[in-house]
Amino acid sequence: MNKIRRQSGVLVFLTPFLMVALAVVAVLAMDAARLYSVKADMQRVVNAAATAAADSSQACSMDGSLTDMEDRAKAAAKAMGFDPDNPDDPMAKFSVSAGLLSPPLDEPSILQFEERSDILQSNAALVSYTRDEPISKLLPKTLFEPISLSVNAASRKELYASLSATSSTAAVDGGLLGILLDSELLGLGELDLTHLPDLEKVFVLVGDVASVGGEILPLTQVTVADVLKTVLDDVNLSSSPARNVVSALINNAGISGVPVSEVLKIEGDIESARNAKFPLYDFVVSVVMNAAHSLGGEGGGLIDLGIAPIDSTIVQDIKDKASDSVNEVDGITLNVKLVVDEPAPIVIGPARMVPCVSEDDDCEPLQDTKWATSVKAADIRVLVDIGLDLSINYTNVIPKVQLVKVSLPLEVTVGGGKAEFVGTNCAVGNENDVPDLDVNLIGGVVTAHSAQGKALNVSLAGVNIIETGFSVGLTRVTEDGSSYSMENYALDCSGANCVAEFKGAESDYDLDLSFDGPISDEEEWSIGDLIPSVVDIILGIVTNILEPLLDAILAPILSDVVFELLDELGLQVGTMEVRVVGADQLSHQLIENVEIK
């Protein structure tokens, strides 16, 4: 039988190795904890630095720069115990970048950072901090290469403002809004519009009308009726007769199904606009104008405003100005019709620039960026058929010519103005006021010429002798100012307190009349009765009379009649008016180790 041989003394040889191994493991464990602590300290540094630097992004500062952003970041880092400029710490690398913190189109639930060299396109700051750190402070450095520790943080601060250019068309009593609501084109029936301004007390949150199950839907999937139904029970609306107007819009099939994207534009991150608000009044104005445009088919709906009365003093003024060539203006009539060519939406967005895309027609020539949040005034065409009955005395040789009738089909287009949200200083700490809101206003454009497909017509005793197209050059005399500022805008506000109005300087115009013809209508003439030379003489006489005559009377007709009518409708000629009807400052967003695009 074999006996098991006893072995002893093995641990004597293993114990030293085990002790060394345990010591190494213990040292590495302490070093791992140290490295973790170092990285946590680094993270705290970049968090503080990014938060401070974000105050210099364009979306939250009107005078920010990359230098200012870097200075803020370094000052915050020093306050946390790290000096980025310390020459005795060559192992550390500290960088600050301006850029855009936003969700990708296919992943709206995450945020990623995209660096932008132009700080005007920024809404965030990214701070990165890298340093080489030895793996162990106790073990020989020759055993292990230093490890590189990297952290970053991106901080976003941004304010979304709601801009409306519909205020210039919002007049109810005798104004464009009242005329559109009463027009047969919309088919809303008889409505009591007396209390319509009550809608200004009702504010709508984007999140209330565009979210399902907590998720914000694209505005193309939300209808006008969806928005209007959410406010029917509002305390400021439920007891107001203006509720009937809202109900009429909901029940109108041609209006209620219109996508909200036609009347409300959100620039930037739609999820961030969840708490942005706008007054129901401006929304209804935009809806009504959009309906007037779309229900009328191509070119917009034609609204007949009827015969415009002319003050006797204006008639006398026209007589006085045309006295060199006209002995008597026997009568003047004006028939006015209106077309909404391009409605003005409500626009919600931040104060920063975005790149232009190739098909973008809103960029200035040779510019590759534009302001993200801009709103255009509605483009309105006014068709004015002017009828003149004249008695003309050309010379002392030719007797007074009576029964002269001039038909002047004038088309005046107003609009083209634009407002750009270009800057704001975000509120800080417990403050509830935004120090400033800055808006650029670009004055509107006015054009006047013969109505499309029509010509100026001059008849003598019922016979057409001249047909010609014409144009009126309107040269602006007084230019708009460019930048307007609102101080101490309240973020927590209600009703009229939420509205900041900006209006550009009004402009005067010099007029310059030019003709495309004249063209004689030879079918109206009997060539056997009048030889061509006689026709040419008559055309020359009438043309010589016509140009100074129309040049004299068009100025008072445009300024005292047409422009005055537009002003009464609420359509300011050649200027731009915009209202900031709400502002929402986003909660501060700080993303550690953010994904960089």
- Nearest residue to 261 (alpha-carbon basis) of 300, 224, 301: 224
Domain membership of residue 115 (yes or no) is yes
Domain membership of residue 146 (yes or no) is no
Say yes or no to pLDDT of 324 above 70: no
- Both 216 and 334 in one domain: the answer is yes
Tens of pLDDT, residues 236-264 = 777 777 888 888 888 887 787 888 888 88
Pick the residue with more confidence: 273 or 393?
A: 273
Pick the residue with more confidence: 266 or 20?
A: 266
- Both 125 and 177 in one domain: the answer is no
Residue 154: what pLDDT? 95
> Is residue 518 reached through a cis peptide bond, with omega within 30 degrees of 0 on the bond before it?
yes
Residue 348: what pLDDT? 92
Measured between alpha carbons, how far is 563 from 345 in angstroms, rounded to an integer? 24
Encoded amino acid at 77, one letter: A
> What is the rounded average pLDDT of the residues 391-414?
69
Tens of pLDDT, residues 165-186 = 875 555 555 567 777 777 766 6
- Both 121 and 253 in one domain: the answer is no
Say yes or no to pLDDT of 485 above 80: no
Say yes or no to pLDDT of 521 above 50: no
- Both 186 and 332 in one domain: the answer is yes
Confidence of residue 376 (pLDDT cuts 50, 70, 90): confident
Domain termination site, one of 110, 131, 152: 131
- Both 580 and 496 in one domain: the answer is yes
Confidence of residue 525 (pLDDT cuts 50, 70, 90): very low
The answer to whether 371 and 422 are in contact (CB under 8 A) is yes
Domain membership of residue 597 (yes or no) is no
> Which residues, in sequence order, are bridge partners of residue 331?
389
- Both 266 and 342 in one domain: the answer is yes
The number of domains in the chain is 2
Confidence of residue 591 (pLDDT cuts 50, 70, 90): very high
DSSP for 475-535? EESSPPP-EEEEEEEESS--GGGG-EEEEPPP--EEEEEEES--B--GGGS-TTTS-HHHH
Residue 429: what pLDDT? 65
Residue 43: what pLDDT? 95
Measured between alpha carbons, how far is 585 from 492 in angstroms, rounded to an integer? 10
Confidence of residue 139 (pLDDT cuts 50, 70, 90): low
Say yes or no to pLDDT of 322 above 80: no
Domain membership of residue 92 (yes or no) is yes
Share of the chain above pLDDT 90, in %: 15
DSSP for 547-575? HHHHHHHHHHIIIIIIHHHHHHHT--TT-
Domain membership of residue 139 (yes or no) is no
Pick the residue with more confidence: 332 or 125?
A: 125
Look at residue 163 and give its three-state secondary structure.
Answer: strand
Domain termination site, one of 115, 131, 147: 131
> What is the rounded average pLDDT of the residues 551-569?
73
Measured between alpha carbons, how far is 307 from 143 in angstroms, rounded to an integer? 98
> Which residues, in sequence order, are bridge partners of residue 461?
none
- Both 76 and 127 in one domain: the answer is yes
Maximum Cα interatomic distance, the chain, rounded to a whole number of Å: 161
Share of the chain above pLDDT 70, in %: 67
- Both 50 and 181 in one domain: the answer is no
Confidence of residue 205 (pLDDT cuts 50, 70, 90): confident
> What is the rounded average pLDDT of the residues 106-122?
88
- Both 119 and 201 in one domain: the answer is no
- Nearest residue to 481 (alpha-carbon basis) of 398, 576, 567: 576
> What is the rounded average pLDDT of the residues 539-568?
69
Say yes or no to pLDDT of 9 above 70: no
- Both 556 and 409 in one domain: the answer is yes
Q: What share of the chain is helix, strand, coil (3-state, %, to 5)?
A: 30, 35, 35
Say yes or no to pLDDT of 203 above 80: yes
Tell me the whole-structure pTM to 2 decimals: 0.80
- Both 419 and 348 in one domain: the answer is yes
DSSP for 417-457? -EEEEEEEPPP-TT--EEEEEEEEEE--EEEEEEPTT--EE
Residue 585: what pLDDT? 85
Average pLDDT over all residues of the chain: 75
Residue 309: what pLDDT? 57
Domain membership of residue 565 (yes or no) is yes
Tens of pLDDT, residues 440-458 = 887 777 777 777 777 777 7
> What is the rounded average pLDDT of the residues 462-487?
64
Confidence of residue 76 (pLDDT cuts 50, 70, 90): very high
Say yes or no to pLDDT of 369 above 80: yes
> What is the rounded average pLDDT of the residues 582-593?
87
Confidence of residue 315 (pLDDT cuts 50, 70, 90): low
- Both 29 and 79 in one domain: the answer is yes
The answer to whether 152 and 128 are in contact (CB under 8 A) is yes
Domain membership of residue 155 (yes or no) is no
Write out the residue range of the structural domain in which residue 218 sits: 161-587
88 DSSP assignment = T
Say yes or no to pLDDT of 524 above 50: no
Domain membership of residue 594 (yes or no) is no
